[in-house]
Each structure stands twice: as structure tokens, then as C-alpha cells.
Amino acid sequence: MDNQFTNAERAEVLTAALPYIKKYNGKTVVIKYGGNAMINEQLKQQVMEDIVLLWLIGVKVVLVHGGGPEISETMKKLGKQAVFLDGLRVTDKETVDIVQMVLAGKINKTLVNLIQMKGGHAVGISGIDGGIIEAKMKNEALGYVGEITKVRTQPITDLLEKNYIPVVSTVASDRQGNTYNINGDTAAAFLAGALGAERLIMMTDIAGILMDKDDPSTLIGNITVSEARKLYENNVISGGMIPKVDCCIEALEHGVNNVVIMDGRIPHSILMELLTDEGAGTMVMKG
Amino acid sequence: MDNQFTNAERAEVLTAALPYIKKYNGKTVVIKYGGNAMINEQLKQQVMEDIVLLWLIGVKVVLVHGGGPEISETMKKLGKQAVFLDGLRVTDKETVDIVQMVLAGKINKTLVNLIQMKGGHAVGISGIDGGIIEAKMKNEALGYVGEITKVRTQPITDLLEKNYIPVVSTVASDRQGNTYNINGDTAAAFLAGALGAERLIMMTDIAGILMDKDDPSTLIGNITVSEARKLYENNVISGGMIPKVDCCIEALEHGVNNVVIMDGRIPHSILMELLTDEGAGTMVMKG
Amino acid sequence: MDNQFTNAERAEVLTAALPYIKKYNGKTVVIKYGGNAMINEQLKQQVMEDIVLLWLIGVKVVLVHGGGPEISETMKKLGKQAVFLDGLRVTDKETVDIVQMVLAGKINKTLVNLIQMKGGHAVGISGIDGGIIEAKMKNEALGYVGEITKVRTQPITDLLEKNYIPVVSTVASDRQGNTYNINGDTAAAFLAGALGAERLIMMTDIAGILMDKDDPSTLIGNITVSEARKLYENNVISGGMIPKVDCCIEALEHGVNNVVIMDGRIPHSILMELLTDEGAGTMVMKG
Amino acid sequence: MDNQFTNAERAEVLTAALPYIKKYNGKTVVIKYGGNAMINEQLKQQVMEDIVLLWLIGVKVVLVHGGGPEISETMKKLGKQAVFLDGLRVTDKETVDIVQMVLAGKINKTLVNLIQMKGGHAVGISGIDGGIIEAKMKNEALGYVGEITKVRTQPITDLLEKNYIPVVSTVASDRQGNTYNINGDTAAAFLAGALGAERLIMMTDIAGILMDKDDPSTLIGNITVSEARKLYENNVISGGMIPKVDCCIEALEHGVNNVVIMDGRIPHSILMELLTDEGAGTMVMKG
Amino acid sequence: MDNQFTNAERAEVLTAALPYIKKYNGKTVVIKYGGNAMINEQLKQQVMEDIVLLWLIGVKVVLVHGGGPEISETMKKLGKQAVFLDGLRVTDKETVDIVQMVLAGKINKTLVNLIQMKGGHAVGISGIDGGIIEAKMKNEALGYVGEITKVRTQPITDLLEKNYIPVVSTVASDRQGNTYNINGDTAAAFLAGALGAERLIMMTDIAGILMDKDDPSTLIGNITVSEARKLYENNVISGGMIPKVDCCIEALEHGVNNVVIMDGRIPHSILMELLTDEGAGTMVMKG
Amino acid sequence: MDNQFTNAERAEVLTAALPYIKKYNGKTVVIKYGGNAMINEQLKQQVMEDIVLLWLIGVKVVLVHGGGPEISETMKKLGKQAVFLDGLRVTDKETVDIVQMVLAGKINKTLVNLIQMKGGHAVGISGIDGGIIEAKMKNEALGYVGEITKVRTQPITDLLEKNYIPVVSTVASDRQGNTYNINGDTAAAFLAGALGAERLIMMTDIAGILMDKDDPSTLIGNITVSEARKLYENNVISGGMIPKVDCCIEALEHGVNNVVIMDGRIPHSILMELLTDEGAGTMVMKG
């Protein structure tokens, strides 16, 4: 399919990307990677290509990943029964061990491996390494679900300085050494804030914020925090969208310049967002 | 028990360690950690304390760990049948995935967490991160059991330079992105060699090389490579000891100054080896 | 015309450039800029865009420029009669002053200005600055036409290290302070060699080396030095092409990895050459 | 003439310079070079010697030069008619191109060449390079006569850090890429201020500020800004002296420690000013 | 005596020191060395061992020494009569020369030599070197007894940065080049304050501050500045203890974190203070 | 006397020094300071001025000093009887202590103080500090007269890097901690050689090498090592001159570029030698 472009057309497209490359050169961009873009093998390959491209043109990319359905799958294989409390999964010691194993052992290293294959240099770490994320128990009944109490970005900036792409699993520990499962979106928002990132990109399985959630043509391109808050009130932002938008607002308050909720199902959506004039999904801005 | 010493006695012991501290200050020491020292919780705590102490007094410690019985245990839980070929475990794709998960996800992060709790700064990585270990298939019938083809120490020295203790899981990948299980002793020997380490410490469940394997009083304190080779011939070194001594010789040939096979079952054996005048286990030297 | 591409197409093109970006990242590329690409205003804008793009994606670009017809034009305006000897222009003191003024004052600063406008950081220098090029008189009858005797790349690498694009006018001086006009192709070849450049790009007004100089379809894509030498013998390479190919060979002998004779009349030919799989013009390689 | 001194006398003179060398060691001194010191060949040689000496003893010298009569001369040769409006030269596009050519091409490189011949390391740049000076049109009727809107000293400090003497031509550009002729004294004052220079030296063809402009014995050695302002009122400072003193005041207000208006017609006046106890010309100080 | 400990005991003691090593790693500790610890040869050896140990485990040690009885002894040998005024020694020019000679020549180099023998890297300097301490005459009748007017820590931090143990003699000079004898405790307090030291240790010949100066069992372990001031009033702190405690308070006011008055007669008291949980002597703290 | 020169003359002299300043800029020059230049107060002031001047113009000066008559004087005052063996002074433990005290305590700090007063930055050290000079006993009967066995220049280059003038006393120690008196000329030669100095200057109380030692007009300006060796044979070089010339040859063999035996009795002889075209004394060169 690539052959449909002439060299002249290619050169033209590259040149058109010039102002965007200039804009992000040397800046930190945190990408929260999850959902379908993580399950579909072809999309996964493309996301990794996009990340290596950004890295090569001088963007400091930090990849924060969740676990997707692999955690549930492994739990099932291990005969571990899922228990829910008010709709939330109860995470006992055994469960958090499985989460750690799948996130930091399986998914993390698979992503690092893919980035290396595409020519990037990646080092996979977790919130435990170098004490990046400190957490505490949120709710005793839910067990080892962590609430972030402190973020130390030094190990991440050390890796960026040595020109690696840090790939971060969202498990953390408390001062006693207990480990916790941390919500990926929240972790990405905290890290982006603490890093003073230029942009946080949240990859999801939806097009962005829709005025009518059943009509993709009602996509909101840009929205300020105060506008978003109004949409909470009249239920335009509802259900699973609420914690996602909450994270966006939190990241903005912690110092990120802007946040984008992006449809990870579209091929190369990261590049489209960062290096073209149209962008993708909904951008949430201060104000 | 600590209270049995007076302050004066403590000061005396610390002072006696002076020449050893001087000797290892700024030097790289690779520790292959495995066996009982990894299973017994108290021993594990002590090993981590020793490592943090070495790190604080200026030794560049690299911790390479194996998987011990946790891999087998997790495989069993996952209902994965172990298949053997000529006594060697057949490692299919599913098995290597479990190995990766247990090593890089469970054990690696648990060790990192312990070091952080003891006050050290650790970052856990694997042979996949930053392309540290490249491997290829050893034997098609055995599956994803890797033979090391290339070692890139840059990511490890980058972490040492930033004053972290690198904790390394011995999984690797080939140029096509396939992942392999790597023998821990071999990986430690290769890394120590490539790093030009001052010393490689192999923690085992035996006292060292014994002239009579049933009599601990026949422990050989020092041995040269050529002497060791003679002990192969007259079967003093035999069975599981052979690959271990092979690794020692390999490390020496790759540039490590000396290698110690050490009894990990003795509390604080690392400190005893490095910071006292008696040492522990058998030291294998060039010559 | 840019709007003819969808965002998805753009992303696809950018991704296709990934391996080329990887290849030139951190490498030095010397571009000899001259001919029509320097006269046609639109082409000039595009060349500068290409250079800024390369600079942003981490290529260390050194731009060496000639004077084109502006020298003759200014001489004519100044009422300076051109004198020729065996077809070569006699360069008296007054003429070399005009050359210096036009090259280092007019063209150099115009190029620097354009690069700055496109968002790059450029510093314009000449062979005189920091003693970059030392020369001597080639032939007394021809006057101040210089033959290069020494190249000092330090000022160029100092500027590259500070992340500027050095734009170099090809005037030089001898140890007595006399200034000389230096052939642009030769200067570019010497500088590329001394810098150990990954690639030297010679922009010309021809398609490259043609087997039949009247038939563009006979373009030779790749050629080794020894093959080129054969083409001298049977007059395929002849006339004005001879000194150009001589320069290519000289650059290769001085350590440049490969040299491309490229058609500067094609828009964005530099990007096409460096960032797509087809390339442009004729590549001359060692061997 | 040099032989008139004994070695003992030489040593004595060198020692007497000690406190002055100490004072300027590591400090930035901006020299505005123009007038007769630029036309007389012997004076020019001496100024360059002085600059190289200062550079060798650790002064960070920045040389800002004007164009002197060479611009007019070249314009005349090019048959370009000078047009005046209220006594000021109208600078059309063609004129500013000639200015750029003469300043950045002829004079700049000639000075760089001389410094190199004397053993210094110089790099010649202009206000266009690296965007050092941004300007806008002052008065539409006068054409491309620039008013400084922004100064970026980074390229100058980058060159100083790499131990070069920056030689600066006072042409500049606006954001649209138009180029402007900038008054040399004003440019020197702005650059000295932005660099936080220890001293700005303005070389002129007069002895300094005279109480009676026809009597050199009435030279004012030191004057504060407020005293100078009084001399404006009673016409002691008048005519061409006004813009010069204005520049001095502006430089002081921008952070320069002190400014000297110096007679460039006296051999080695720079050394006399900086390295002896008498000084030369009139020093304008804050207050 | 060393052989009384088993290796296991040694390892245990080393491990117990872990939290203290962690605490002082990278911190600056100023040790004022004097009294019996300086006269008794065995104690001297032990103090130097302690210092080298601290240096090896990453403490930035600055050793400030007084002259003890060696000054008086040398004066006596030189037939120099001691003259006293209100109980204070009159220091004429000849006397201050002897002080300088003994402190900076004899004692300083002897200490440096001992540290080098123990494996440390030391450079011995005085308050004169690099202008570290500027002083003035305190009281004309007393002669060259100096009062500190300025402290320049740059030479000390330069040596620390190059990983040397600076050993400092407390002689100083004024701007006219006169030299002065400086009280060692005062100099140590000033230097510790200017260096922002983590701790100042004052080695003395007493156990610390005693509630009853004749009963060692009444040793005060910790005391705040305000508590100390009360003890002045009711004469618990009296006699020679007053200037010592004054120095402690001065150091705390200049930014030192805490100060310890320590019994230098106890072997390895420095290690006991810094690396065990009991400490030694009296710690004076802010508040 | 200084006022006899006009400013113009001063400037002329400074300019004439230009090529010499250029030559020594950034180079290491070791000056062995002793003899009359050390006793006469005015000469001493001038030598220090010269050294500060050299330091300011970028020469890396290392000052090595002997003890002159102050050692004998102090010994006499201390009632210490000088004992000679075959004309050489017997140096017992007490004597070497006095030597150390006078050299490292008295003379060293006095010189450092003078340099600081003249505006230089100096740090005074000895061969003991940082283990710069290791020595052994030369001859048991002579006692603590040291023969150099090892030179470690690191502490000196560390001080030069931090821009201090190292002032070095020639006492040293062996591995057992015994201290030795080292011949100043020999120490200077060893240090200059190990530092790869551009020049070693030996200040003496003679004019240089004379063909007829009673006729100053027979001064040899330049001499090669082989020529010097011939002068040994025919007794032109004899007596106290022999060890001095031996040192020169030794320094040349250790890598110093050239060595000058210079008359320290002439004011500012160092400046005359380094910064004028005549030089002073006899230069010994390789060959």
C-alpha cells in the first residue's frame, strides 16, 4: 500500500511535518497505552513504530502501559476466582502478585522487545524501581489497590537523559514493601504532571468526548477544564468517561500543558495527533 | 543478638574492614544470586542488606538472578506439563512466556523492592531491555533455551553511572524478537566478563569445591584454572559442579579478575567474602 | 496541494521514513549546494526546508555553497571585465575581493537568513574563519584561484556541537593573509572527508551519471570508483562531469562513506535521497 | 623602534600591567571598531594585535565593526546614486544588499583574516546568524534602516565558550526575513548590555568629550551619566557626539559596567586604555 | 584482639552500621582534632583509620587540627620565652612564625602522611592557602592572634570534589600579608558553618558536658542551644568549657546541622559517634 | 622608575610580548626557585609578580622551592649540630623534622602568602601530600636523604585544573611513612618530566654555563645534551654545576621540552626568559 505515493509526495508530507517536529523536539510526551491498541497485533506494531519515530526526531517519550485483558486471562488460567465488591475487583495478595507478574514481566518486556526490534532503545521499569511510585491502600476491603502518595521522577529522567524510552508498568509499593496495583490512567497523569510533560496522550477505545455518545460526528475537538466540568453536570460525560476525564484534569493541574483523549483504534493515531495539523480525539486544556 | 557487641568492638570490626573497603571501592562486582539464599526469607533479607552495604561503600554491584523453584511452581499452577528431553526441560513458547513473567515480573521486582526497602537504589531490568543480551536457539528440540550471541553492557553501565544497582533477569531475545530463557550462571559469567568486573560471586547451595564431596572439611580455598581442569579429569569436579566451574573459567577468560563459588546458605556470606580476611567458598583464579 | 493527503496517509509516509531517520540520526551529512537549486526561489526555499527537517531529526548538516551566477552579475555591475586563460577565469586581487563579498556577504547570509526563517539555527562562516581552509596559489597566471593545502574542521565541529547548521562559503586564505576563491565541489569534498561524513551530496543541474548523456532513462543508480574510472576511459563521463566525479572519488578516498550526485532541479530531492527507498541521482561508492 | 628597550625594561612594563590583566581576566569587553582606525592599514594591524593580546591574556573580546567608507565606495562603483531625506541616507533594497555584502563579506572576513594572521582564533558572523539581532523598519521613508527589537546573545556566548573572538557585522533581519542596516554604535551598545560586558570601548576619530571641542587639552577623563546630561543642555555635547554619548548611556542602562569613548587614531589605544593606569579618551560611568 | 570475632560476627556488625553509612553518605563532616587524641601515638593512628574509613564510605571529611603541646615544645627548644598578658600568650612576629612552622610544616604533614599510609588521599593546607581564612589583629597587646574576618571555602570544596581529605592548619593572613595564629575550635566552627557541614565533631580531653564536672556519670547526651545557655548561667558550663560550647553554638548558627563535643581519649570514638546507635559525648543541637 | 615609559611605549612592549604569550598559553612551566632570588626580599617580590603574571596569561606554573639558608639557621637556633660525612650533611630523624617544618611550614606558606597578595591563587603542598613523591633512603650513613622512587602528578594536575598555582616543598615519604629531604633540583626535574612540562626553569646564583667560569661574557646561550656531555669531559662543567646540568639532562630525558639554567639574581629574569626574544641564562636542549 506504501507504494501508492511518489517520492515527491513523500517528501512533501515530510516537509509538512516540519513545524510539528520543531514543536515537540526535546519535549516530554507521556503516552498512556492500553485498550484495543494493545490487543490488536497490527495496531501494537504501529504504536511502537510511532513511538520510535517520535524518539528519533527528538521527543522524550515515556510509555505507561496497563494490563488489558491479559491479567484476567492469566488469573483464569491460574484458577483464581475474581471477587467483586460494589463492582470493583477485590485484589488480595495473590492477585497483586499475578498483576505484577503480568504487567512487569509479560507485557512490559514484550513492549520493550518490540521497541528494540523497531530500532529504538527502551528500558522497562515499574513504579517499584528506584521508588518511582509510592502508594498506600485505598480501601481495606478492596485489598492491594493502591492510591498514589508520592512520585519520584528521578529514575525516569535518568533514563531519558541516557536516551532510553522508559516503559513503565503501573505497580507500586508502600514503605513496608507491600506492592499495589495502580490504575494506569491515574499513574500516567501523576507521572506526566511530575515530569512537567508537554503533553499526555491517553489512548482509549473511543473517539474522544462526544456530545452524543452514539454519534461519532459529535466529537468535541477541544475543551477546557471548566467546559468539561459543565458536561459532567448535564451527563454528557458519564460512565467510564468520568474517571478518564478526571485524570486529564488532574494531569493539567499538576502542570502538563495539554492532554488528549485519543482513539487508539485508528492506525498511527499518535503521529496524526502530534505531527499533522488535524490532530485526533479530544484535547482537554487548562482554563 | 546485635546488642552483644560494645561500641568499641563495633568500631574495631569496622576498622578491620578498612583494607577490604579500599580494595573494592569503585570496582564492579557481579553477584549471581540463586539457590537457597533466594528461597529462605531471612537469608534473602541478609543478601539484600549486604548488597546495599556494598553499594554504599562504593562498590558497583550488579545483581543477576535466576528463577529458582518459582518457575516450576507457577507452571504447575498453570497446569503446564513439564516435558524433558535427555534430562533437559523442553521450553516451548508458552513456557518461555511463563519464565519471562516469573523472572522479570515476580522475582525481579521483589528483589528491587527489597533493596529499596533497605535504602538502596535499584532498577530491575532483563536481558531484553536495551538489547543487553542477544541469543539464538541452542537446540531446536529444546525450544526457547537461548545461547548467548552478543552482550551489550551499555544499559548496565548507564545505570551504574547514575548510581543504581542493576538487578538483571536472565531472559533475552534474538533479532526476530523471539524471547529465550538463559542459564543464570552463564549470563552472569558473560556479563561479568563484558563489564571487566573485579569479581564474580556465584552463590550456590554447596560449600564450594570439595576434594571429597561428602566431607566439608576438604573445601578447596583457592584453585587455578589449570588445577581445576585436572580435577575434572579425576572426577573431583563432577555432576552439577561441572557447568558451574565451566562458567567460572569462562568468566575468567572474558576478563573477570577472579570468581568465587560461595555458599549462599551462610548468613552474610557476601560480606564475609569481600570484607574480611577469611573469605568464603572456593576462589577460582587465572593461571 | 498539501491537502490532497489524509492524515492516515501522512502518518503512513512518516512511518515509512523511520528506517532512514534511524540511519542518519547523529551522522554528519555535507551538502554542496549550487546550480539551479540556488537560483530558483521556490527550489531554494524547499532546499532550506529539507535542511531544517534533517537538522531537527538529528542529522548534523553542513551546507557548503558556491556562488552561482551572482558573482558574474556583480562583476558586470562593477564594470569588471572577465579575462580568460585557456578557458579559465583569471582572478586578480579585485576579482577575489568581489568573490569574497558576494559569497561570504550576500549568498551566505541570505542562506543563513532563510534557514533561520524556517526554524533552524544557522551560523554562516567561510574557509577563512577559524582557519578552516588554508590554500595556496594554483597557477600564477590564473591569480587568486586557490588549491587547498590544509583543512581544520574544529570550528565546524564546534558549531555542530553547539547545535548550529554551519553554512560555509568557499573562500580561503594562505599564511600570508592572501585570500583565494576555492572551487565549491572541491571544498565540499575536502570538508566531508576531513569530517568523516556519512554522506556527501553534490547538487547539480543534471540527473546524475547517464550512460547516454542525452537520455535521462539511462541514469546509473549506483557505481563504484573502479567502475567510474572505466567510464572515464570510454568517454561516458566527460566534459564538466569529470571534475564532479573526481571530487566524489576524492571525498571517498578521504573517508566519506558514500557520495551522491543529485539533481537539484527536482523539488525536495535531498529528502527523497535520504529519507525514501528510491534515492535520487547517482551514488558513487568505494570499491 | 622596538629595540630601544632593554629586557629589564620590558619585564618592568609587563609587570606593571599585572593589576590590569587581573582585572579583565575572564571578563567580556565589547569593542566597537570604526573610523580612521579601520582605514589606516597600520592602525588596523595594531588594533588586531591588541585584540589578540587581550584574547590571549584571558579577556573575552567581542569585536563589532561598522563599514566605514567602503560601503559608499562600493555603491559608487556600482553606479548606485545616494539619496538623502532630511540628511539621512535612504536605504532601498538594493542598498541594504550592498551594505550586507560589504560588511559581512568584505570587511568582516578581512578582519577575521587579520586576527587569524596575528595568531588569534576568530569567527566572523552578523546579526543575522543564529538570529542574534532582530530588527524592524524605523521609518518607511528611509527604507531598510533597522531599529533593534530583540537581541539573542546565545550564538556569541557559544563562540566565546569555544574560545573564539566573535567578529560581528551589524546587519540584522526581521521575522519576515527582510534584512536591515543597523547603526554600529547602537548595535555594540545593545550587545554589550545583553552580554553584561565589563566594558564597552567605542573607537572614534576624536579624542573624547572635550569641554571646548577645538581644544584637545580640555578632554574630560571621567563623566557620569547625569553630568553628561547637563553637558547636552549647555551644548558642550552636540552634533555627531550626541548619538555616540546616547549609545554610551544606553549601554550603561543595559548593564555594562562602564563605557569609554576612545581615540582610535592613537596607536595601541585599546591596550593603553585597558592595561595601563592612564587610560585613554573619556570614560562614561553610571550615576 | 581482632581475632576474637568470627566472620559472622563481623558481617553482623557491618550490617548494623548500614543505616548510619546511609545517613552520612555524601555529607560533609568537619572534625576538629586536638588534645590527647593527637599526642598518644596509638590514638592518633586510630583517628586516622577512622577518617580513612569515613572517606571510603563516602563521607566528605575535613580535618582541622590544632597544635597541641608541640608549639610550646619547639618554642622552648628555640629559647623563646613565653610572655603572658592577663593569662593570654603574647604572640609576637617570631612566635607566629614558629606557630606556622609547627602547625603547617610539622603536624599538618605528619597527619597527611598517616592518612596516606592508611590508604586515604589527603592534601594538607592552611588558612593561608587559596585565601581560605582572612583574619585581623584581635588585640594589639596580644600581637598576632587573629580574629577571623572572612572565610573562602572554595579551595576546600575544590579538594573535596577531587576526592581528597583536606587537612587544615589554622594559620591565616590579613590583606597586608601578616600571618596570624587562629584558635582551632573557632576556625573549625567557621569552616563547618561556611561549608554547611552535616556535623562538626570537636575532639576534646573530656567526656562531654557534665552536670557535675567531677562525675562522668552525669554526662549530658543531648542539649539544645537554649538549654546550654541556661547551664552557663548556673555555672555548670564554666572555665575552658565556655569557649568550646561557644564554638558549638556559633557553628550551629552558621548552618551546621549538629555539633558533638566528643571524648578523643576513647579509641575509635569518631566511628562510635557516627556509625553506631549510641554515639559518644554531648550533642549540641539547634533550638 | 616606572614613570619613565609613556603609555605608547608600554603598549608597544606589551604587543612585542604577543608571540611569547601565544607560545606558552596553556602550557606547563615548572620553576625551581632557590638561591639569592629567595633570600633578597625585593627579588622575591619580583619572582612572585612574574609568576602571577604568567598564571594570568594562561601559563600553568608549578613552583618548586628549596630551603636555602633558613634550614641551617633554624637548626642553629635549635642547637642542632651539623654533622658531615664526606662533605655531605648527615640527616638524622630530628634534622629531617626540622627540614620538613622549615620547608613545608615556613617557606612554603610564606610563598603562598606572597602569591595571594599579588592576586594569584596558590595552594602549598609537599611531596607527602597525595603521595606526590615516594622516596627511599639513599645511603644509610647519610640518614633521611631521599632518592625518588615514584612520582604521582595527579594532585598537582588536580590543582592546576582548578586553576591554582601549586607551590611544592621537596619533602617526601616512603611506604613505611618515614619522611625524607629531597634535593630540590632533582625533585623539580622529576616533576617537570612527569608533568610533560614545556619548560623547566632552574633559578641559580650564576649566569648560566660559562666557557670560562670567571668570565661572564663567555655565557653559552644554547647547548644540546651531547654538547654538554663533552664539556663535562674537558672540565668546563665542573663542581656544583655538575649536579645542576645532570638534573637538566634528566628532565629532558623524562619528556620536558627544554630546560633553562637562569640567573635568579637579575630582576624579572623569568619574564625576560619567557616573554622576550633574548632569553636569559643557558638553555639545554635535547640532541
Residues 54-113 of E with CB under 8 A from B: 56-58
Q: Which chains touch C (3 or more CB pairs under 8 A)?
A: A, D
Average pLDDT over residues B179-184: 95
Band of pLDDT at residue C1, cut at 50, 70 and 90: very low
Residue range B47-55: mean pLDDT, rounded? 95
Name the least confident of C182-196, F9-23, F194-208. Answer: F9-23
Q: Which of E51, F57, F210, C217 is nearest to D18 (CA)?
A: F57
Q: How does pLDDT run across C110-122, given as a tens digit for each residue?
A: 999 999 999 999 9
Q: Do F123 and E155 touch (CB under 8 A)?
A: yes
The pLDDT of residue A1 is: 38
Find chain A residues with C-beta within 8 A of C275's C-beta. 10-11, 14
Strands B122-126 and B165-169: parallel
pLDDT of residue A3: 59
CA separation, residue A249 to residues A186, A188, A253, A283 (Å) = 11, 12, 6, 11
Per-residue pLDDT at F228: 93
Mean pLDDT of F192-214: 92
Q: For chain D, say whether C267 makes contact (Cβ under 8 Å).
A: no
Domains and CATH numbers, chain D: 25-285 (3.40.1160.10)
pLDDT at F112: 98
Catalytic residue among B138, B185, B263, B281: B185
Which has the minimum average pLDDT: A75-89, B181-195, D197-211?
A75-89
Q: Which residues of C touch A50 (CB under 8 A)?
A: 11, 15
Mutate to test the interface with C, among A2, A7, A49, A53 (most CBs of C within 10 A): A7
Find the mean pLDDT for residues A238-266. Answer: 91
Nearest by CB to residue F13, choosing from D14, D50, D52, is D14
E221 CB within 8 Å of a chain B CB: no
Q: What is the mean pLDDT of chain B?
A: 91
Q: Are E25 and E145 in contact (CB under 8 A)?
A: no
Told to judge if B177 belongs to the known catalytic residues of this protein, a careful annotator would answer no
What percent of chain C is predicted at pLDDT more than 70?
98
**What are E224-259's pLDDT values in tens digits?**
999 999 999 988 998 888 888 999 999 999 889 999
What distance in Å separates the CA atoms of residue E91 and residue E82, rounded to the nearest whole number?
9
Of D234, D231, D209, the C-alpha closest to D220 is D209
Per-residue pLDDT, B3: 59
pLDDT tens figures, F249-278:
999 998 899 999 999 999 899 998 898 777
What is the tens place of the pLDDT at every residue in A180-208? 999 999 999 999 999 999 999 999 988 88
Q: Which of D15, D17, D52 is opposite residue F268, by nearest beta carbon?
A: D15
Q: Is E185 a catalytic residue?
A: yes
Q: Which of D68, D146, D193, D281 is catalytic?
A: D68
CB contact under 8 A, F130 and E123: yes
Q: Which of A67, A68, A184, A208 is catalytic?
A: A68
d(CA D138, CA D148): 9
Residue appearing with cell numbers 515530569: A195
Rg (C-alpha) for chain B, rounded Å, is: 19
Q: In this complex, how many residue pairs, one in chain B and one in chain E, have their CB atoms less than 8 Å apart?
A: 123
The reply to whether residue D104 touches residue C100, judged by beta carbons under 8 angstroms, is no
pLDDT for position D62: 98
Say whether the A–C interface has 3 or more Cβ pairs within 8 Å: yes
If we measure between CA atoms, which residue out of F191, F213, F214 comes closest to residue F201? F191
Q: What is the mean pLDDT of chain C?
A: 92
Q: Is E244 a catalytic residue?
A: yes
Residue F99: how many other CB atoms lie within 10 Å:
26
Lowest mean pLDDT among A238-252, C158-172, E81-95, E173-187: E81-95
Q: Given B244, B263, B264, B281, which residue is catalytic?
A: B244
At A178, phi and psi to the nearest 5?
-70, 145
β-sheet bridge partners, residue F263: F204
Closest of C121, C105, C54, C31 to residue D158, by C-alpha: C121
Which listed residue (F50, F129, F185, F263) is catalytic?
A: F185
Instruction: Give the three-state DSSP class for A81.
Output: coil
CB contact under 8 A, C275 and A5: no
Q: Is the pLDDT of residue A281 over 80?
A: yes
Query: Nearest C-alpha of chain C: how many angstroms from D35?
Result: 21
Annotated catalytic residue B68: yes
Mean pLDDT for D155-167 is 98
Whether the CB of E179 is below 8 Å from some CB of chain F: the reply is: yes
Give which of B104, B93, B178 is closest to B142, Cα–Cα: B93
Q: Among residues of chain D, what percentage have pLDDT more than 70? A: 98
- Closest Cβ–Cβ partner in C77, C79, C105 for D104: C105
Q: How many CA atoms lie within 13 A of F27 on its CB side?
A: 20
pLDDT at B240 over 60: yes
What pLDDT digit, counting tens, does each position of C3-44 carry?
A: 578 877 888 888 888 888 999 999 999 999 988 889 999 999
Q: Which of B123, B164, B174, B181 to mutate to test the interface with A (most CBs of A within 10 A)?
A: B123
Q: Residue D238's pLDDT is what? A: 86
Give me the sheet containing A222-224, strands edge to edge: A122-126, A165-169, A60-65, A28-33, A199-204, A258-263, A282-285, A222-224
Query: Chains D, C in contact: 3+ Cβ pairs under 8 A?
Result: yes
Q: Residues A54, A274: contact at Cβ < 8 Å? A: yes
pLDDT higher than 50, residue D70: yes
Q: Do E15 and B57 touch (CB under 8 A)?
A: no
pLDDT at residue number E270 = 92
Chains F and B touch (3+ CB pairs under 8 A): no
What pLDDT is stored for residue E224 in this prediction? 95
Report residue E224 CA to chain centroid gap. Answer: 20
- Half-sphere exposure at residue F66, Cβ-oriented, CA atoms within 13 angstroms: 22
F143 phi and psi, to 5 degrees?
A: 80, -135
Determine whether the interchain pair A104/B103 forms a contact, defined as Cβ–Cβ distance below 8 Å: no
Mean pLDDT of A241-256: 91
**Confidence check: pLDDT of D213 > 90:** no
C117 touches chain A (CB under 8 A): no
Chains adjacent to D (≥3 CB pairs closer than 8 angstroms): C, F
ipTM of the complex: 0.94
Q: What are the cell numbers at F237?
A: 662543567
Is F213 in the active site?
A: no
More confident residue, C241 or D51: D51
Q: Rounded to whole angstroms, how far apart are CA atoms B187 and B183?
A: 6
Q: Out of B13-22, C147-156, D120-129, F152-161, which region has the weakest mean confidence (pLDDT)?
A: B13-22
Q: What pLDDT score was predicted for residue F119?
A: 94
pLDDT tens column, C180-206 = 999 999 999 999 999 999 999 999 988
C155 touches chain D (CB under 8 A): yes
DSSP 3-state assignment of B140?
helix
- Annotated catalytic residue, options F44, F60, F138, F244: F244
Measure in Å the smallest separation between the Cα of A218 and chain B Cα atoms.
Answer: 41
pLDDT value at F10 more than 80: yes
pLDDT of residue E234: 87
Pick from B256-260, B275-279, E74-78, E230-234: least confident: B275-279
- The minimal CB distance from C268 to the residues A15, A49, A272 is found for A15
The pLDDT of residue F3 is 59
SS3 assignment, position A33: strand
**Residues of chain E falling short of pLDDT 70:** 1-3, 68
Q: Which helix (H) or strand (E) holds D97?
A: helix D93-100
Cα–Cα distance measured from residue D11 to residue D15, given in angstroms and rounded to the nearest whole number: 6
**Of F2, F7, F56, which has the smallest distance from its Cβ to D25's Cβ?**
F56
- Is the Cβ of B10 closer than 8 Å to some Cβ of chain E? yes
Q: For residue B128, which residues of chain A lie inside 8 Å, CB to CB?
A: 109, 112-113, 116, 124
Of B184, B252, B241, nearest in space to B207 by CA = B241
CB contact under 8 A, D18 and F52: yes
Predicted pLDDT at E1: 38
E278 interfacial to chain B (CB closer than 8 Å):
yes
Q: Does F269 touch chain E (CB under 8 A)?
A: no
The pLDDT score that the predictor gives to residue C280 is 76
Integer-rounded Cα radius of gyration of chain E: 19
Q: Is the pLDDT of residue B42 over 60?
A: yes
Percentage with pLDDT > 90 across chain C: 68
- The pLDDT score that the predictor gives to residue C197 is 96
Is the model's pLDDT at B1 over the cut of 50? no
Does any CB of chain F come closer than 8 Å to the CB of residue D176?
A: no
- Chain A residues close to C52, C-beta within 8 Å: 18, 22
pLDDT at D1 exceeding the cut of 60: no
Q: How confident is the model at residue C207 (pLDDT cuts 50, 70, 90)?
A: confident
